[in-house]
Every structure is written in C-alpha cells, then in structure tokens.
Chain A
C-alpha cells in the first residue's frame, strides 16, 4: 500500500491551500479530488470575489482556482483527480476509486476538505425537470455552457441565490423574480441591488408553494408567509417560468468524518452537523483535521485560512516546523479570519465556530 505523510481530500480552496502550505513545510502531500479538474466551487464562480486583498478579493473565483492550482504544482504536491475517496478506515487508511479501480492509501495525517452539498426543498412538483439547485444551474451554465432554462424563479436570497441569480441573467436567462421566506434579504445588499437594477423583483416573506407542468416545469406558484412562516391564504400568484432554482442553503459533506469516528455538533448557523474541531482544526480523532465548508459553511477566504492552519498543525505534529514558528503562522492566519468575521454577517459564524472547539 502506498504511504504518504499528508493526504488532503477535496481540492477546493481549503484543500488547495492546505496542500500548498503542507508542501511548503516539507511534507510529502497527496491531494485527491473526485472531479477531473481541481478547484472545487471556485471553477463555477465566474464573479469577482468579495473579501480582502490577501484573500485575492476582486479576482474572479475561477481565476483564483487557477492561481492556486499553479502554486500546488510548483510546491510539488501530488494531485490525484477523478478519484473518489469512498472509505476511511482505522490507522488512517483511505479507500480510493479511480477509473473503476479501487486502491488504498495510507496517510500519517489527513485533512478533510470535502466542502458541502446543496440542500433541497420539497414542495408539490419539486421532482419535475426544471427544478434544480443553484449549484447545479451554475455547473451547467458556467462549466458546460448549457442554458438550463429560459425564464426562471430563484428561491433564496442568501449570497448564493443572489450571485447565481445574476449569473442566470448573464447567461441570457430571464430571471422573473426572487423569493425569500424570511422578512429580509439574507445575503449582501450590494448583490441584491445588482439584481434589482436589472429588473429582477425581489419578494421577501414569500416562498414557493408549487411547481406546475406536465413533463417539466411550466409555471411556479408563490405565496406570502406570515411571521411564523405560515402561508397566507389568498396570496398565491402563478408565474410562467420553465426553471425553479433553489438556493436554500448548503450542508457540510461529512460522511468521511463520520466514517473516521469524529465527534459532531449540530449548528444551524454552520449548515447542520459539523465535526468538532479545535483551534488547529484537528477533530476528535488525532491526526485528522477539517478545513473549509466541511467545518461549517462559510466563504472561500476563511476556507483558505483554515486549510493553511490545518496543514501547519499537521507539519508541526510531524516535526517539520518548530512550535514557535507554527504558532506565529497559525496566529496570523487566524487573525485574518477573525477580521473577515468582524461584521454582522460573520459574527454569527464566528460565535458558532467558537462553540465547536474541542478543549485541549
């Protein structure tokens, strides 16, 4: 069985930064991703990222992905693409499958950076073709250049709904309206204003009641909801659309952490069940770390920092980095993360993250 010092699972921003940082400190690193291209979410993100300059804000997500990929190659990381990790056994043995062939890999340290999965929403008609997740729509449009519809409704006003809504318009789809069940828009107002000024009506305290159609979506019915999220009878409206796009949240992709026997906590602010972890991103299983959306749904900027922190901790534990140097580097990464969480949007994430920490 092949042996490596550090195996990183998932090549999104968290995994890429973890692999780069690990290799930088002399670790022999293997980075594994199920896709044929590394980058995770980044390759769907054709918009310029918010965040700070140190996190490459102002650069389009897809270009951030390419930059990180270049750095990974230069750092001497072994990258295994089109490879699914389907098992994680005792003694840190990973089961991989590539082109139908199963192999095993043993690692001294593991960083789980598997990202997240999109939540669905059940309503009458939700299985009709034309109802899809915002991420699926993005994959079709931005990666495969396929138009997923002509006229759309977006459900959910978090940043994902707002940003993908704008990308629908860029792809030439008419976004008829965006509905949000909460009384206020959830994502950044600047992203909402981009939609509004281009003619998209945003309705808060409104949700989708039904998708109608024979073979596929032909219309969608929306309804107002009261402060207890109960539908208000008589407020139904039918909209002629052929596409219902759902942006109702993401959940950490935690199967591998479960297999590894990690401890969990349920935190709705972070998207659901999240592996417990300490300030070094180490889970309750020694030598297994988490970073990025798997450690709580957040942003690429913080995913990158968490990846770095996890890799620094792994390098330190394998004796590649003195404690003082490791502490200083981890501290500066954490400081950049805390700055990101300083405003009203990040504060809740930060508080939830703190409640997760495993006491050393």
Chain B
C-alpha cells in the first residue's frame, strides 16, 4: 500500500522528503519532522518558524524544505499547520525513551501525567505512553500540542494518541 491508497506514509516515502531531518540530526535531540509530501498550495509553516528553519518560498506549492541545523525543536510550527503534518521528535528525552509532540484537536484533552494509547500512522495502538506536556496557548488557536513518551524505536511511528 502507498500513501495515495490508504493515507499512510511509508518510511521510504518519508525519508525521501526534504522536510524530514537526517538520522544524524535526529540523534542530537528535539527536531521537527514535517510529513508533507505533495505540491499543495500551502505555506503557514514557513512564517510560523521564528528561526527561519522552514522554507516554502514561491510558488507556494513547493514542498517545504527543512534547514535541520536551524531547528531547535521548539514546536512553534506544529499547531499552525492546517494539514497537521508537523511533529517534533526528541530522541534524547530519556535513556531509552523518546518524546513525540503532536497536534491534537479532540475533546477532552489529556492531563499531564495521564497514560494514553500511542497510535501509529495507521491508527493502531502500539504503546501506552505518558503525556508529559499539554500546550494550549491562545496563539495555537485551539489546536493543542501534546507531548507523549514512547520507546525510542517507536519515535518515527507514533503520530497520534487516544485517551
């Protein structure tokens, strides 16, 4: 199955994107992973990054390009993305643990410390993770950014949660 059949990006499709950081950068700690593979007319991610790490340029149908060395994983670009295609992955969260920050627009919101099901790109529960952060500043405009812990090997798998 490929993306255009079932909506699930494969790891090969992902690694080919200019907006996904390389392994080396990932190992250094929190960094953004942008899963935006098509030439759609969209660019709110670009002005959302205060460090200039995301470049769409013109025409706006360009696929975003990540300047991985400029990104410090602050997560400010996660909520503004209308495609909910932006995540922050921190492989150095704990010894064997990684943290994934993801956009969340369902009610109710989880509490900090709550155990939740961590879902992969197919919506399958692959782990029970702990919510370590719930961010809802007004600038995020009602899209919460939730950070959940997962085993390191699932950091590039988990992309949603279920309470």
Which A residues are closer than 8 A to B by beta carbons?
A: 47-53, 57-60, 169-170, 183-185, 188-204, 299, 301, 339-346
Contacts and interface: CB of A to CB of B under 8 A. Distances in A.
Given A193-B7, A204-B6, A343-B59, 10 more contacts: A51-B41, A51-B60, A197-B119, A197-B122, A198-B119, A339-B41, A339-B60, A342-B39, A343-B38, A343-B61
A197 B121 contact: yes
B58 A339 contact: yes
19 contacts: A48-B141, A50-B41, A50-B44, A51-B41, A58-B44, A58-B80, A60-B141, A190-B40, A194-B83, A196-B7, A197-B122, A197-B159, A199-B119, A339-B60, A341-B41, A342-B39, A342-B41, A343-B61, A344-B38
Contacts of B81: 48, 58
Interface in B66-111: 80-85, 105-107
Contacts of A204: 4-6
Contact of A344 (B9, B39, B47): B39
* In the A-B complex, the 4 residue pairs with the closest CB atoms: A190-B83, A343-B61, A199-B123, A192-B7
Contacts of A344: 38-39
Contact of A196 (B6, B47, B59): B6
A342 B47 CA distance: 20
Nearest to A50: B42
Interface core residue of B39, B43, B120, B162 (most chain A CB under 10 Å) = B43
Contacts, number: 140
B4 A184 contact: yes
A17 to B, nearest CB: 17
A128 B38 CA distance: 38
Interface core residue of A52, A53, A299, A344 (most chain B CB under 10 Å) = A52
A194 B35 CA distance: 11
B41 A189 contact: no
A346 B85 contact: no
B106 A57 contact: no
A234 to B, nearest CB: 21
Nearest to A200: B123
Contacts of B3: 185, 189, 192-193
B83 A50 contact: yes
Contacts of A50: 40-42, 44, 82-83
Interface of B: 3-9, 35-44, 47-48, 58-61, 80-85, 105-107, 119-124, 141-143, 159-160, 162
A192 B121 CA distance: 11
A340 B85 contact: no
B37 A189 contact: yes
Contacts of B121: 193, 196-197
A197 B41 contact: no
B112 to A, nearest CB: 22
A340 B41 CA distance: 5
A289 B42 CA distance: 28
A332 to B, nearest CB: 14
A296 to B, nearest CB: 16
Nearest to A163: B82
Interface core residue of A58, A170, A204, A342 (most chain B CB under 10 Å) = A58
B83 A342 contact: no
Contacts of B39: 342-345
A191 B47 contact: no
Given A169-B106, A193-B9, A57 B123 contact: no
A342 B36 contact: no
Contacts of A52: 41-43, 60
A209 B160 CA distance: 32
